Amino acid sequence: MAPAQDDKIITMTQKEITANAIDDLILPRLVALNGGLGNVPGVRLAGVHAGVKKRKRDLALIAFDGPQACASVVTTNEIKAAPVLVTRESLKTHDSQMRAIVCNSGNANACTGAKGERDARATARQAAALLGIPKQSVVVASTGVIGVPLPIDRISKSLERAAADLEAGSEAAWDAAEAIMTTDRVPKLAAYAFYDGEKRYVVGGIAKGSGMIAPNLATMLAFIATDAPMSQSELQRHLVEAADRSFNMISVDGDMSTNDSAYAFAPISEANAPKHFGAALNKLCEELAQAMVADGEGATKTLTVHVTGAKDEMQARTVARSIINRNSVKSMINGEDPNWGRIVAAAGEARCGMDPEKWSLYLNDLLWVDVGAVEVLSEAEGHRELEHKSITIRLDLGIGPAAATGWACDISRDWVRINASYRT
């Protein structure tokens, strides 16, 4: 049962914005909503136990009241799971007519050959029959153990129950978010209301991700929807931009899996996206991405890496990704060892034009190492700052005006324990 949900106003970086046009030009008015995808009008959800896992919910069904434009960003791994391939085929012809999502956890349906693709198609076909929609209008997704055949009989029986349980609202969204979890400890939901003049829209999502997380997506799934109408191409553009700033800027362990997918849905229209949709989607994806890092397998600390003073955003992102993806940095954070050389070495490893004579490094807003590699904080002071549960590092490249941010967690002994016995 999900906890009671109430709307709340997010803390803004500037003063709260009213709905008048002048203030809208300064900062979009965003309102955080508890309950994730359940806040989006026209979306119904269910999460049930199908028996893929021993006890917990492991099958989610999400249905839309009308045809939806669908945008996607999926793994760049050359080994792609059957549901990723089957959904890609459907989107080639029906990317403006999608109506549902089926996702199971506990089994990735990856490296399962022709049978895996047949099972993914059978899942889409049955969901379509239960909902009275075309089979090509169903997105299928899976997450879990690789190389094991999907228990299609269990999923088939449970789909009927999931279709009967479909409901709108935050409680149903909570159930669906639980059903897509693997090693996650908590469900991940987020939603924001935004305004185009006096017109109110909502964008909401659920996600999963805890391990095998690295830049360029990871063992993560995200299902996002909005009631703001727009074209498929417009939705795709916004999703790619949001993913580049969020899902592609997190790291737990440096691994990339076979099933990573983010799908976004919107009522189809020839119009451009409403004003501030991009800002709301960016905020939503960033919140879901940070939730994955905070829930990283065995994590005890979170790390935010700001790269400033870059010549352009691409350089800033590349350096930030190089830092957050290094296990030497993650283990340093876990051990609270102020070994700043690992951070600088990881930045230089990006090989994207860092000037060795111009950089400076900050730890939790304190100058740590000044230009010229002059250490300012003592080892004791550095250790004391690393004792915090949330660590912020800023590397100023001293070259230009651009910046980017990445997020990571530490690597602990528990990460080894979890991954040493994932199947057994």
Contact 202, 193 (CB under 8 A): yes
| Confidence at residue 295, expressed as pLDDT on a 0 to 100 scale | 87
Could you give the CA distance from residue 218 to residue 324 in angstroms, rounded to a whole number? 14
Mapped to the 3 state alphabet, what secondary structure does the chain carry?
CCCCCCCECCCCCCCCCCCCHHHHHHCCCEEECCCHHHHCCCEEEEEECCCCCCCCCCEEEEEEEEEEEEEEEECCCCCCCHHHHHHHHHHHHHCCCEEEEEEEEEECCCCCHHHHHHHHHHHHHHHHHHHCCCHHHEEEEEEEECCCCCCHHHHHHHHHHHHHHCECCHHHHHHHHHHCCCCCCCCEEEEEEEEECCEEEEEEEEEEECCCCCCCCCCEEEEEEECCCECHHHHHHHHHHHHHHCHHHEECCCCCCCCCEEEEEEEECCCCCCCCHHHHHHHHHHHHHHHHHHCCCCCCCEEEEEEEEECCHHHHHHHHHHHHCCHHHHHHHHHCCCCCHHHHHHHHHCCCCCCCCCCEEEECCEEEEECCCEECCCHHHHHHHCCCCEEEEEEECCCCCEEEEEEEECCCHHHHHHHHCCCC
CB count, 10 Å around CB of 401? 11
Which residues are catalytic, by number? 219
pTM attached to this predicted model = 0.88
CB count, 10 Å around CB of 356? 9
Q: How many CA atoms lie within 13 A of 50 on its CB side?
A: 32
Provide the β-strand partners of residue 63: 44, 100
| Confidence at residue 418, expressed as pLDDT on a 0 to 100 scale | 63
Domain range 302-420, its CATH number among 3.10.20.340, 1.20.1050.10, 3.40.50.2300, 3.40.50.970: 3.10.20.340
Residue 312 phi/psi, 5-degree rounding, is -155, 170
| Confidence at residue 416, expressed as pLDDT on a 0 to 100 scale | 65
Domain boundaries, the chain: 21-294, 302-420
CB count, 10 Å around CB of 224? 27
pLDDT of the chain along its 424 residues, tens only? 344 333 333 333 333 334 344 444 456 889 999 999 999 999 999 999 999 999 899 999 999 999 999 999 998 888 999 999 999 999 999 999 999 999 999 999 999 999 999 999 999 999 999 999 999 999 999 999 899 999 999 999 999 999 999 999 999 999 999 999 988 889 999 999 999 999 999 999 999 986 544 545 545 899 999 999 999 999 999 999 999 999 999 987 656 678 889 999 999 999 899 999 999 999 999 999 999 988 877 789 999 999 999 999 999 999 999 999 998 999 999 999 999 999 999 999 999 999 999 999 999 999 999 999 999 999 999 999 999 999 999 999 999 999 999 999 988 776 666 667 655 5
Domain range 21-294, its CATH number among 3.60.70.12, 4.10.80.40, 3.90.580.10, 1.10.238.10: 3.60.70.12
| Confidence at residue 58, expressed as pLDDT on a 0 to 100 scale | 96
Could you give the CA distance from residue 203 to residue 224 in angstroms, rounded to a whole number? 7
Contact 323, 343 (CB under 8 A): yes
